A and B are shown apart, each in its own frame.
Chain A
Amino acid sequence: MLTERLDEARAALAQLDKQWKGQVACPDGETGGVISHAFGNVSLSRHIGPVGIRSVGLHEVVCGHDDGPASVLAWHLAQIGENKCETGPCGKSVFWIRQRRAIDQGRFYHLSLPDLASGPPPLMMTTGQQVTALWACEEVAKSGQVASVILETTDYGLTAARRLQLACEKAGTRLIVLRRAQQTNRLAPSSALTRWKIEPSDDRKTNSTGNIHHLSLIGGRGVRPGGWRVEINAATFSISVVNAMESRLPSDRAVRMRG
């Protein structure tokens, strides 16, 4: 009897350990997938829970005064974990939808991406209308034919956000919305699972190479807001945590959350 209980306890412990390391699907997510170790440091797990964040669904990246790192973060979030099947690349790519003039600091330049020789190239769409961008985003998310969708758009309503979230859950698609905060530094309500913000570090001593940034988790469902100092590797388009900052940054307090 005691041996059986010990075996059960060991199995439960092993299962917990796997969940902690992000190797198994999230139990509460139907489609599974976790990004708890997305940035290569366990310090994030204190803020996003032991089993990580459900990768399937709507995530937001709020652009600060620099859209370059925000684009890298969006691409990084879109690429985590999903593009590899057991037998190799599963053939699903990223769909990048750009609404013109939604982000005024140029367009995404795909030649900055690392070589994607193993996977299919991303599909890209450019439109002038937000309604077309949202429609295409929902259509792609519902189809389940791409691993991730990145949407550059202006502010959108709570109804649109909820529709996109449901479309993602239906087909197991990850959606990263790249949006700019309003002039009042206030974010419109959204049903996003997580909301991120990344800005370059203005500390001249630590940021001598220009690739140190402040990454902030400014809200979401079941997450604790926090901040990290991260390093962006431009050659691989990857982000890794250098060290954890205070859980609440002064700049994050300025962003008032609603919804």
Chain B
Amino acid sequence: MPLIITRVDPKGVLVCGLNGAAYQAGLHGAMRLSDARSILPDLTNIPEEPDRYQSELTRLIQFMDRYSPWIAPDRMLHTQSLQGDAGLWLDITGGSHLFGGESAMLGQVLRDVQARGMHARAAIADTAGAAWAAARCHPDAPDQRILHLPRDHRVSARFPVSCLRLTDDVLTLLSRLGLKRLGDITPLPRANITTRLGPDVLQRLDQFYGRLPEHLSFELPEHRWLIGRSFGEPLGDAVTLAQAVEAMMAELCERLRGENLGLRRVVLRCIQVDGHTHTIAVTTGSPCQIELHILRLLAEKMPGVDAGFGIEQVVLYAPWVEHVTFRQVRLDQKQDDSGGTIALAQLVDRITHHLGADDSLFYPGHHASHLPERAAVRQAVTGPVKPMRLDNVSLPRRPVRLIDPPEPVDILARSDTGTPIRLRWRKMIVEILRAEGPERICPEWWEHLDRHDFALSQQTRDYFRVCDQKGRMLWLFRSGSFGQDIWSVHGLFGG
């Protein structure tokens, strides 16, 4: 049954929404009601209800909160467009892996929206402009519309110029000049584009490719652990920003203390007047209610926030909170170790946040493996810590320092039994006075089920503890087949 929604406009009564049956009959948005009725005389007409529309939009934003707390509706299209092409932007930075990747997340969004009785198009891209365009113009299947620039430059070059969200006048001008696709505009000199087509084209183009920021008005959902502040006078320096963050953090921690909850992750977002956004995320190893600790962690990353022309909005959001384990103070006035535990957790947080990508902080662990390099594993500093040694695994004497990977040596002389008595290691001649061994370590055959037995025998190692002329105790091992054996140094003993 064809159904349309109409809006009273100075131009007349215009169609601003329609269902599938009406669309298939040839109706479209911005059409006059009288024209529509001439095509479909038995058309059902419902007048637009802006308040109801707004409440439904708010409900949809709350629903989308499951994917990201940063949701920005396209206000201009929602209020003015008659084409039914208004939409929502979701900033999913760093969150797609929670849904199994970008493609899986996109499919999930489409399925959820469809389950609510709506038809939607969706896309994922690096910028808001590119996402807007890809959702409407990407040639792939609806749940595969992912645009990564500049990798997908050829795909985006085929997008029509209407995907740049330009006014009708500019689009008409571009059409007259024969510039119909993005690939037609990008090779043109930038100065000529501005001179002949106006500044909007270049601005939208730069926003599309991420050369210019795009200011999105995020609709902050009603969330218990979200505090947003908008400033009439933009914050111009780091001191005032720090004061604002401090006050917001104190309020957030006070709320959490009331519920006996602690922060595990907090996100700070500073939005500049020109649209630039700085996002700082901090994660703690254990639930934390102490604002000073969180502020100290944030302070390490705050120098990266450039106030620029001023910060007009600051949002503090705790997406991950956990219950704080109740700690009872001892009644016998003896030392309570809970304070030490908290202080150690805070120390670990501070160090973890300071470390780079190649640095690591860990508790040593033990994996049940005979291979020395596999036996030593790392345990995360957060969460329960297992013992450094497995109780049920007996371990022969091991070196104090392990050279990983092992360093091959040149054998210069051998004894009658085939063990080396002189070798060259790191350009130094090592004379072996004594040797103890061997300790045979075989590879883990269950890890190499596809290999032949002979191939595994090449990986069997015979370890020897040898003492050289300087008194050093080296851990040598032999691998390979007889006659073609390879000797390597794998560690040094302390005594």
Contacts and interface: CB of A to CB of B under 8 A. Distances in A.
Interface of A: 65-69, 71-72, 91-92, 103, 105-113, 115-117, 120-129, 132, 135-136, 139-140, 143, 145-146, 199-204, 207, 210-213, 231-235, 237
Interface string B331-351: 000000100100110011011
Contacts of A234: 397, 493-495
Given A111-B376, A121-B387, A232 B494 contact: yes
Interface stretch (B14-22, B126-134, B285-293, B398-406): B398-406
B495 A201 contact: no
Contact of A128 (B347, B358, B398): B358
Contacts of B467: 210
B491 A72 contact: no
Given A71-B494, A72-B400, A106-B404, A202 B471 contact: yes
A110 B376 contact: yes
Contacts of A129: 356, 359
Interface of chain B, main secondary structure = mixed
Given A91-B340, A124-B362, A200-B471, A111 B401 contact: no
A21 B387 CA distance: 34
Nearest to B350: A139
B186 to A, nearest CB: 41
Interface residues of B, number: 50
B356 A233 contact: no
A210 to B, nearest CB: 5
A128 B387 contact: no
Contacts of B440: none
Given A109-B400, A145-B344, A128 B356 contact: yes
Contact of B354 (A103, A116, A135): A135
Interface string B115-128: 00000000000000
Contact of B356 (A111, A132, A202): A132
Nearest to B362: A124
A145 B388 CA distance: 19
Given A68-B494, A234-B493, 16 more contacts: A107-B404, A108-B402, A109-B376, A109-B491, A116-B389, A122-B363, A122-B388, A123-B381, A132-B355, A132-B359, A139-B354, A140-B347, A202-B471, A212-B471, A213-B471, A237-B494
Contacts of A71: 400-401, 494
Contacts of A124: 361-364, 378
A111 B368 CA distance: 12
Given A106-B404, A110-B388, A125-B359, A139 B492 contact: no
Contacts of A201: 471
B473 interface: yes
Contact of A112 (B340, B347, B351, B400): B400
B153 interface: no
Given A112-B494, A127-B356, A145 B347 contact: yes
B413 interface: no
B395 A111 contact: yes
A155 B404 CA distance: 23
A210 B358 contact: no
A140 B354 CA distance: 13
Contacts of A91: 337, 340
Interface string B468-489: 0111110000000000000000
Interface of B: 337, 340, 343-344, 347-348, 350-351, 354-356, 358-364, 366, 372, 375-376, 378, 381, 385, 387-389, 395, 397-404, 433-434, 467, 469-473, 491-495
A48 B375 CA distance: 41
A107 B473 CA distance: 16
Given A71-B400, A109-B402, A125-B361, A202 B469 contact: yes
B457 to A, nearest CB: 26
Contacts of B404: 106-107
Given A202-B469, A202-B470, A69 B398 contact: no
9 contacts: A68-B472, A68-B493, A105-B401, A105-B492, A112-B398, A123-B362, A143-B343, A203-B471, A234-B493
Contacts of A143: 343, 347
Contacts of A139: 347, 350-351, 354
A126 B494 contact: no
A190 B362 CA distance: 29
B400 A108 contact: yes
B472 A66 contact: yes
Contact of B364 (A121, A127, A128, A233): A121
A232 B356 contact: no
A121 B385 contact: yes
A65 B375 CA distance: 27
- 3 A-B pairs with the lowest CB-CB distances in the bound complex, closest first: A200-B471, A232-B495, A72-B494
B430 to A, nearest CB: 11
Contact of B471 (A103, A126, A210, A233): A210
